[in-house]
Amino acid sequence: MKILGVILILVGALMLAYPMITYTEEETLVDVGPVEITAENQESIPLPPILGGAAIVAGIALLVVTGRSRSAS
């Protein structure tokens, strides 16, 4: 559980640092015999900052709960 908490914190920090995922999509416009014309379209997916913050809070909560359960045992 500690590892999952640390991973959530790191993913949340990355989501806050990079608020947008950008990727390139190749589209075939014309394909006639040996002639092929393609176009590259750059698409972006915005990531709301609330998701990054929620991942960090969830990771911290996992670390706290895991730490308390081990000390109580």
Q: What is the mean pLDDT of residues 57-73?
A: 83
Which residues partner with 22 through β-bridges?
A: 44
Flag whether pLDDT at 73 surpasses 60: no
Flag whether pLDDT at 22 surpasses 70: yes
SS3 label, residue 34 = coil
CA geometry: angle at 24 spanning 8 and 15, to 5°? Answer: 20
> 45, 20 in Cβ contact below 8 A?
yes
Segments making up each domain of the chain, as ranges:
2-72
Q: How many residues does the chain have?
A: 73
Flag whether pLDDT at 12 surpasses 60: yes
